[in-house]
Structure 1
Amino acid sequence: MAAIVKSYCIAILFLGLVTNGKELILWFCDCSFNDIGVGQVRSERLIQGKPEWNVTVTNNCSCFQVLITLACKGFQSVEYVEPSILFKQGDICMLNKGHRLDGHASIAFSYAWDPPFLLMPVNSTVICTVSGE
């Protein structure tokens, strides 16, 4: 096991030298889509007779994540949801047009429907970077 860790450290050091001080992308990380948290809170607003729900999606990892998708079976809303924030494709919704959500950052949107929808993370790509400077 110690030999494997030592090999990884040598590889990272070598890549840091090869990149000449540029940012180094590490494709191995302890984060996953399971580090995406989804919180929903009912606001006090009613829109067309439906309660409004404020949703916050948070990346609870120090690495950034891209191509975050949520299960959103049957999702609908009488309140407009900006497609650049949440884009429904069948029973899957793409968050933030697939763009990065930085580590420990959040993105929020609201929708109006009754009952609320269970929005669960189903996939993402985790990218960790180390600055060589």
Structure 2
Amino acid sequence: QSHGKTACVLFGGRSYMPAGERTTETWNSVVDCPPEVFLFDLEFGCSSAHTLPELSDGQSFHLALAREDCVYFIGGHSLTSDCRPPRLFRLRVELLQGAPLLSCETLDTGMSISSAIINRTGPTHRYIILGGYQS
């Protein structure tokens, strides 16, 4: 939420390999989606795609936490390197008149975790991480 507007953010994930690249042996193989951020305005039905230099690898199974005009991406798994690097990104989304403004910052303290659930534990900014895989 920013400037009284609300948007949905989509980042990461996996998809099946393109049909032209599949063989019988790799028919159900998946690849990391390109590292793009998609914004969806559910009120007006429009969307936009954004590429940010800080997000250079595709990643899946990361944790995401939204707070005011920021979304935090924590951990995640990369198929390319088959690892869970200790990552923490802060994506700031400003929903300005006309076009959104996105900025991304890599923060120093990350976690090497994937496939977990994060839940708020009270009225303050305290959270608990449940389950998942850690490298």
TM-score band, normalised by shorter chain: under 0.3
Provide TM-score, normalisation by structure 1.
Answer: 0.27
Provide TM-score, normalisation by structure 2.
Answer: 0.27
Higher relative contact order (CA 8 A, sep 6+): 1
Decide which structure has the larger Cα Rg and report it.
1
More helix by share: 1
